[in-house]
Structures are given as structure tokens and as C-alpha cells.
Chain A
Amino acid sequence: MHKLTSQIIIGFLFIIHLVNTNTADAKAKQTVSIAYLTQEQIAPPALSNLDPVIKNKGEIGAELGITDDNTTGQFTGQKFELKKFIVPVNASVADVFNKNIKGKFQYILVNLPADQLNPLADLADAGQTLLFDVGTRDDALRNEQCRHHVLHLLPSRAMRADALAQYMMKKRWTKWFLVTGPQAEDRLFADALRRAAKRFGIKIVEEKTWEHTYDARRTAQSDVAVFTQVDDYDVLVVADEQGLFGEYLEYRTWLPRPVIGTQGLVATSWHRTHEQWGAVQIQNRFKELAGRWMEEQDYAAYLAARALGEAATRTQSNELEKIKTYLFSEQFALQGYKGNPLSFRAWDGQLRQPVLLAAPRSLVAVAPIEGFLHPKTELDTLGYDQPESTCQ
């Protein structure tokens, strides 16, 4: 307790020190106010207790992004303020939004489940706000259900499935056994995988749904072997986003085949095994701040804060129109520690980015995989390209 207090004091002194440095610059401060909105979630069931439940995914990423923005701001006369709104499980997000955010904040980082994003976006004045979605991966939210005042920071399911498919093409694993869980999200990811298979000329030779039953005779050891007795295939592709059975598959299949998808080799925007392109620096800085590894939502929230910071710095403005125009302009190039500069797709607000393909302890590849070409940028070989988009 005593140690904590002294840390706070040291932190406080540091802030004072920074402020002093600022005054040396003697520039008038322009403030950019940002809200971070999330709701506490009930911890979902898990296969094991290996990974602790993380309650502040996203939050610390936003904080680190704002800190970095302010380091720049001390030299440019801008100040970035983050106000966090964490709605309790049973409370109404809409009430909190209407009471505390609406009309007060123009820039809002939203970390909410997919079904809550658009109801919230529709409460906001589309002409007066810009929402940064740091929590969803739904393709529908980027296509037919898109909103023009919402930017999506995480790769969509289609981008992830395309990344996996490109890698499997490279490995010539072109006969898939697709195993889908019973959840709605699993079916959405399976749809994205089928789309990817079609795009890259991959054959899904077998498809099965994993049912959760309570038969005492079922064990992972016996059950998976029986379940996977199908015609020959190259690779088992699994869609189990919550992780309720996917981990059981590896090493237990009837035929010795790799597992890829949501378990085994996974497609993600960020991973603890990622070290290239300066990633070590942000991994270290994040760990020091959070005391844990950076999760995907943290990375998304970090990028959201940095994108906003970059636009505000370059335009020397906190006005919505100027910032939004800059974010969609050719000049906008965000450093995301993944080699390529990141930018937003004008047609659906999706952040263009490389997708990491990671095993639990090693980074296997980074998509787009070499050889998959695109006339504008290879990053657009992942997900819905402009001609395919149904965002109106």
C-alpha cells in the first residue's frame, strides 16, 4: 500500500515535470477531448484457468495512446484528454451515453460487443461525432450495416480468414476440413472462411459442427478421434471464437493434421510473439504500464488514439471535419509496428493492416503473404475490397 502511494506521488511529480517543460514552449494549448466507452462483461466460460480473465482489455491501450499523443502534444501545443465511461453489467449504455457523452464529446472510442455497436452509433449525431470501434470483427457492421461515422480498428473476420487462406495456399494445404462451433460468432467466422476458400480456389472437403453435449462417456481423447474420422484432408480449420473446444483438437485428430483458425495457428491483429518492426518497444512499454501483455482490443484502442493524435497534430486542429478528412486522406499513414503504414479504407472505415499468423509461442507469418498482389496496396487483398463492399 505504502509502495503504491509513493508510486502515485512519483507519477504525480513526473506529470508536474512535464507540465513545466510544456510552459517552456509557451504555446497556447488546444484540447482534444476523447471519451472511452465500454461495458463490463460477464466472464464467459473457459476451457482452462491458464489465462487469467482480463477486465480492462482496451482501456490500457487507449491510455498508452493518449500518453504518446501528449508527448507529441507538449511540443505542438496540443493536449489530449481521455475520459473513461465503464458501464456496469446491468446498467444501460444508452443512458450513460445520453447523459455523459452526447453533445460533450466528438471523438469516442467504443469497446462494445457487435450487437451493441450500431444501436449506440444511432444515438450519436452522425455529423457531429466520430466513433472508433475497437471491439468488433463483424463483417456486416462494415458492409450492409455500416455507419459512416464509425471507424473499425480491428481486422474483420473476412480479413482474418483471407490471411489464413493465403498462408494455406502458400503451404498448398488446399483441402480443408472445416469444424464449426455452435455459437453465432462461430458460424460468422465459418462464413468468412468459406468466402476465403472460394476466393482462393480452396476446397472444403468436409464440414462438421461441434456440439456440446453432456454425455459422460465423451472425453476429448476418444471423442475427437471419432469426430475427425472423415475423408482425407490437408488441414483442420476450426471456428471456435470463444475457445470452448478448439484446443481439444490439436494432437487428437484421427489423421495427423495441423489445426488452424481460432486455435492452433490463429489470425490476429496483435500477438505477444510479435517483435519485428519496432514491436518490441511497444510490447515493453505496454507491459510496463499494464503489467500484462497487450491484447487485441488494447492494440485497437492504442491505434485509435494514435490515429486521432496524428490527425490533430498534422491539421493543428481539433475540429471534426478537418480530422475526419485527414484520416481518410492519402497523407494519413499510421505507424502500427507491423511493417506497412496503416490507413483507413474510404469505402467502409476499416483500418487497413497486416494480419499476424501466430502459434502460441512463435510468429509464423504476416499476411498479406508475398505473392498475393493488388494494383493499389497488397493490404487490400485481405477482406472486402472496394468493388465487393456493400457499404452504402
Chain B
Amino acid sequence: MKKNYTALSLSMALIGSVQAETVFVTLEKDNALAVVDPIAGELIKTVPIGQRPRGISISPDNKFLYIATSDDNTIKIVDATSLQEVGQLPSGEDPETFALNPAGDRLYVSNEDDSQVTVIDVANKKAIKQIQVGVEPEGITVSPDNRWIISASETTNMVHWIDSKTMSISENTLVDPRPRAVAFTADSKQLWVTSEMAGSLTVLDADTKQIVKNIKFAVQGVTADKIQPVGVVIDQQRTRAYVALGPANRVAVINAQTFEVEKYLLVGQRVWNLAFSPDQKRLYTTNGTSNDISIIDLEDQKVTKSIGVGLYPWGVAVKP
């Protein structure tokens, strides 16, 4: 067993030396996980993973994938190399989105139907607490400094600041209608929140919990109600941020210092979620209704490729 493991890490090291990375995409309607080699630009394989897979994350040590299989009412733990299921987490009903803390030992799940956030002890595979939040919690994230757990409730139009020590809400900030995704800057100082119905993005100060900036998106030739921001990511240096605009089929490129929208990049249809490559030179987008992912070269700010992956690509995670 130990021998195998050494051989495995050796082969991984070899792959690493040619800078290969693997992109994993959950396919909501195929009940499968797509495995993509983004450098070669190829779909390597598709493996069955469970009913209606949506949210996906990779452990900090890159050994395990966590995948919410919504219709199985669980979060599956999958070996990131063999892609075999190694366990399940008690997520509560219909899990969709969740977040891992930086240490990777706590996982926080939004339970939309019950207006709750479930806290899971990953090592013991046990739910240790339920926190009551607003109606239909969706977006969830943990600050890189592990101070805050943020839950955004879609119908209450709020972000809840949950103190990671007390595991209870310490503050709430009202944001634009139907907040979807939440992401912290790497320094944990700002929280970026997308609002699907308002077509906007709100940047909050993590100390004051007040709004620093509200950005309203406008794309020429696209009516306002088609602009529905979902996924948001901010790069390590806070140079740029990227926002998926749903049925507007665009990714907005934002100067993260001045908050100006620099560009809209045309990707696939109903773009939902985003993930950086480990070196942050590329961005991967899942395009829900065109059944593909787009690869954006961030140095050239250009979409270089789209790769068909399967029905309803939803979440995306990248393994170095």
C-alpha cells in the first residue's frame, strides 16, 4: 500500500514537472464528473459520480474532492487521483453549495430549504452545528484568515457574517436582490458579492461590514434582465476580479483596485462558476446551457478554447 502511494506521488511529480493540471467539472444532468486536461485542451474522461452533482471543492492538500450530489442528499468525498468514492458527509437535504475552511477540517453547507448552514467536522464526518440564517441561503465562503464564514441568503437579500469561533451570526449586511456568490480577497479585507436579479456586484469592507463599492454591469446589445451575475473570483494580488454573468454569456473583467469594468469576454451560454489555474494564468468557466467550459488566457485577456464536457456543467475545481 505504501509502495503504491510512493509510485503514485512519483508519477504525480512527473506530471507536475510538465505543468499539467486537471480540471474537474460536475455535470448536473449527466450525474457525472468530467475530467479535463486544460493544457492539451481535451476532455480526458467522464465518470459517474452520483445524482445531480453541483458544488465541488478540492482539499487544501489536493488529495480529495468534495462533491455535493444534491439528489443523493450527501457530499461525497472522492479520491482526487483514483476518482473512487472514499466517504460521505452528512450535508442535510439537497446540498448545492458549500465551503471548506483553509485548514480543510471544517466544511460549511448551505441548506436552502431549511434556511440553515450546517457545520461539518470533516475528519469525523459529523454535522456539529446548524446555524439559522435567512431564506434560501446559497453563496457560502470562508475568509482566508478563517475569521468569517459568509452565508448569502437569496430571498432575504443579505450576507450573514458568521464568527468562526462562536459559530453564530455576528452581523448582517443588506445587499442587492438575490445575492448568489461570495468571495473574499486573498488578504481577507474585502468581501465581493454578486446579485443575480440586480445585475450588480457589491464590494464590502470586512472590518466595517459596509459597502465600499457597488458595480452595475451593462453589456452593449444585451438587455439588463439577461445580466445575472453568479460566480466571482479575485486574483491573489487583487489586480483583477472576474464575474460570470449567467445568460449574458459573458465574463466581466474588473480592475480590482479601481473597480472599473475593463472588459466583457464572450464565453459559452449561461456561464455560472469560475476557477483559476494554480498559477492564476488561466480562468476556467462552466457554461450551463452550452454544455462546455471556456478557457480564458488571463495574460492576453482572451478566450482561447471551449471544451464540450457534458450536460449542464455546474461546478469547477482545479488540481495542480
Q: Residues on A close to B: CB < 8 A? A: 21, 68, 71-72, 75-76, 278, 281, 284-285, 288, 306, 310, 313-314, 333-335, 339-341, 374, 376-379
B225: chain A residues at CB < 8 Å are: 339-341, 377-379
B224: chain A residues at CB < 8 Å are: 377
**Residue on B nearest A314 in the bound complex, by CB:** B174
Tell whether B177 is near chain A: CB-to-CB under 8 Å. yes
Tell me the bound Cα distance from A297 to B172 in angstroms.
32
Of the A-B pairs whose beta carbons lie under 8 Å apart in the complex, a sample of 26, sorted by A's number, is: A68-B155, A71-B153, A71-B155, A72-B134, A72-B155, A72-B156, A72-B158, A75-B156, A75-B160, A76-B172, A76-B174, A278-B136, A278-B154, A281-B112, A284-B113, A285-B113, A313-B157, A333-B197, A333-B198, A334-B197, A339-B225, A339-B247, A341-B177, A341-B197, A377-B225, A378-B225
Tell whether B115 is near chain A: CB-to-CB under 8 Å. yes
CB < 8 Å: which of A71, A284, A314 contacts B135? A71
Is B134 a contact partner of A75 (Cβ separation < 8 A)? yes
Task: Count residues of B near A (Cβ-Cβ below 8 Å).
Answer: 27
Is A335 a contact partner of B155 (Cβ separation < 8 A)? yes
Number of A-B contacts (CB under 8 A): 67
A288 to chain B, nearest CB (A): 8
Tell me the bound Cα distance from A21 to B170 in angstroms.
12
A75: chain B residues at CB < 8 Å are: 134, 156, 158, 160, 172
Tell me the bound Cα distance from A341 to B216 in angstroms.
15
**Residue on A nearest B132 in the bound complex, by CB:** A21
A285: chain B residues at CB < 8 Å are: 113
Is B115 a contact partner of A335 (Cβ separation < 8 A)? no
**Residue on B nearest A72 in the bound complex, by CB:** B156
A334: chain B residues at CB < 8 Å are: 177, 197
CB < 8 Å: which of B115, B174, B196, B247 contacts A71? B115
- Chain B, 120-161, CB within 8 A of any chain A CB: 132, 134-136, 153-158, 160
Tell whether B223 is near chain A: CB-to-CB under 8 Å. yes
Question: Would you list the 7 A-B pairs with minimal beta carbon distance, nearest first?
Answer: A341-B197, A340-B225, A75-B172, A72-B156, A333-B177, A335-B178, A333-B197
A314: chain B residues at CB < 8 Å are: 174
**Residue on A nearest B195 in the bound complex, by CB:** A333
**Residue on B nearest A375 in the bound complex, by CB:** B223
Tell me the bound Cα distance from A79 to B245 in angstroms.
34
Is B157 a contact partner of A68 (Cβ separation < 8 A)? no
CB < 8 Å: which of B112, B154, B158 contacts A335? B154
B115: chain A residues at CB < 8 Å are: 71
B154: chain A residues at CB < 8 Å are: 278, 335
Q: Interface 1/0s, chain B 210-251, versus A by CB < 8 A?
A: 000000000000011100100000000000000000010000
A75-B158, A313-B157, A341-B197 known; 15 other A-B pairs, CB under 8 Å?
A: A68-B156, A71-B156, A75-B160, A278-B112, A278-B154, A281-B113, A288-B113, A306-B155, A310-B177, A314-B174, A333-B176, A335-B177, A335-B197, A341-B198, A377-B223
A313: chain B residues at CB < 8 Å are: 157, 174
B196: chain A residues at CB < 8 Å are: 335
**Residue on B nearest A352 in the bound complex, by CB:** B225
A283 to chain B, nearest CB (A): 10
A71 to chain B, nearest CB (A): 5
Tell me the bound Cα distance from A75 to B178 in angstroms.
16
B158: chain A residues at CB < 8 Å are: 72, 75
Tell me the bound Cα distance from A71 to B134 in angstroms.
6
B92 to chain A, nearest CB (A): 13
**Residue on A nearest B133 in the bound complex, by CB:** A71
**Residue on A nearest B156 in the bound complex, by CB:** A72
A135 to chain B, nearest CB (A): 24
B199 to chain A, nearest CB (A): 8
A380 to chain B, nearest CB (A): 10
A235 to chain B, nearest CB (A): 28
Tell me the bound Cα distance from A68 to B176 in angstroms.
16
Tell me the bound Cα distance from A281 to B134 in angstroms.
14
A72: chain B residues at CB < 8 Å are: 134-135, 155-158
- Chain B, 156-212, CB within 8 A of any chain A CB: 156-158, 160, 172, 174, 176-178, 196-198
**Residue on B nearest A373 in the bound complex, by CB:** B223
Tell me the bound Cα distance from A379 to B226 in angstroms.
11
B112: chain A residues at CB < 8 Å are: 278, 281
B174: chain A residues at CB < 8 Å are: 76, 313-314
Is B134 a contact partner of A378 (Cβ separation < 8 A)? no
- Chain B, 233-276, CB within 8 A of any chain A CB: 247
B57 to chain A, nearest CB (A): 22
